[in-house]
Amino acid sequence: MLPLRTLAAAVASGEPPERGIALTFDDGYMDNLEIAAPILAELGVPATFFLTSESLTARRRFWWDALEEMLLWADGCPERIEVRFRGQLRSFQTAKPAARRAAHDELYGIYKASAPVVRDDMLAQLARQTSVSLISEAHRPMLADEVRRLRAFPLIEVGAHGMHHLSLPHLSAEECHREVFESRSALERLTGHPVTSFAYPFGDVSPETVTAVMAAGFHVAVGCEVRGLRAREHRFRIPRLPTREESGTELGARLAQMLSGGAAEV
């Protein structure tokens, strides 16, 4: 196991370490602090935790978790929901599981591409119709003091994941710059440490977003392209292998298969 910055520098220079792995976590859920960090510290394993900076002061759930509960898991979902978006009232049939899934998937795409104020308003509309709370102690992102506790663990690095977890290619150049630069500044002020790594929200990346991340002074950026590392990689287009609901044996076998072709970033 290697720190992400070490692995990225090695593959960028054309000297990938044999069977090298860097471990990363996205979004900054509380279980990162309560479960993952103590285990990593005990084992002496380095890791990078990518955090958004809008969730540092309020005990709000991420919108995608709330949306999933409202439409896929909550018992109180009505047979139809309505959402006002861009001045128009949209209606979704939600009486049956397949219809609820279709409504979820369509709204997910809308939320993902919407400005934070629009996204939050639509989420509040749904919350009123489904009686699902947007505030939760369970499955929430870390607050500021909790992020400081995470960063205090040995071998732990905090990376940036945008201010509001927005799909960067959907933004204007000015908005993209602000999302990238201000997320780094906020986390550096909070932790007192340099923040040099970035994870593209949703894995969405374009040449323009790469330029924005480079201009903001980051040293490495990761996406969600699923493959092992090649002999030479662009430091701002590092791929990652996502974990699944699988046993340690199954994960080990999958990693062994990936690593047969070189290093990996998980």
Domain(s) labelled CATH 3.20.20.370 in the chain stretch across 4-58+140-265
Q: In this predicted structure, what is the pLDDT of residue 265?
A: 61
Q: In this predicted structure, what is the pLDDT of residue 264?
A: 57
Handedness of CA 84, 85, 91, 97 (dihedral sign): negative
Q: Which residues of 84-106 are buried (b: 16+ CB within 10 A; e: fewer)?
A: eeeeeeeebebeeeeebeebbee
Task: Please name which of 159, 213, 165 lies closest in space to residue 188, comparing C-alpha atoms.
Answer: 159
Q: Alpha helix (H) ranges present in the chain? A: 4-12, 30-31, 37-43, 63-68, 97-112, 116-130, 144-151, 173-191, 207-215, 248-259
Q: Judge whether residue 261 has pLDDT over 60.
A: no
Q: Judge whether residue 263 has pLDDT over 70.
A: no
The proportion of the chain whose per-residue pLDDT surpasses 70, expressed as a percent, equals 95
Burial class of residue 40, CB neighbours in 10 A (0-12, 13-18, 19+) = buried
| Range name among 73-77, 152-156, 258-262 with the lowest pLDDT average | 258-262
Retrieve residue 240's tokens: 């990652």
Phi, psi of 240 (to 5 degrees): -140, 150
Residues 210-246: tens digit of each pLDDT: 999 999 999 999 999 888 777 788 899 999 888 877 7
- Which residues, listed in sequence order, are joined to residue 251 by a DSSP beta bridge? none
Within 13 Å and on the Cβ side, how many CA atoms surround 255?
A: 21
How far apart are the C-alpha atoms of 46 and 20, rounded to whole Å? 12
Check: CB of residue 27 under 8 Å from CB of residue 49: no
Q: In this predicted structure, what is the pLDDT of residue 87?
A: 85
How far apart are the C-alpha atoms of 47 and 38, rounded to whole Å? 12
For domain 4-58+140-265, give the fold: TIM Barrel (3.20.20)
- How many helices (H) and strands (E) are present in the chain, helices listed first? 10, 9
Q: What is the CA radius of gyration of the chain?
A: 19
Residues 205-214: tens digit of each pLDDT: 999 999 999 9
Whole-number Cα distances in Å, 33 to 37, 142, 143, 146, 261? 5, 8, 11, 7, 32
Residues 35-58: tens digit of each pLDDT: 999 999 999 999 999 999 887 877
| pLDDT band (50, 70, 90) for residue 32 | very high
Retrieve residue 254's tokens: 């999958």
- Which residues, listed in sequence order, are joined to residue 83 by a DSSP beta bridge? 90
| pLDDT band (50, 70, 90) for residue 260 | low
Q: In this predicted structure, what is the pLDDT of residue 253?
A: 77
Residues 126-145: tens digit of each pLDDT: 999 988 888 877 788 999 99
Check: CB of residue 80 under 8 Å from CB of residue 95: yes
| pLDDT band (50, 70, 90) for residue 259 | low
Q: In this predicted structure, what is the pLDDT of residue 258?
A: 63
Instruction: Classify 71 as helix, strand or coil.
Output: helix
Retrieve residue 139's tokens: 């499955």
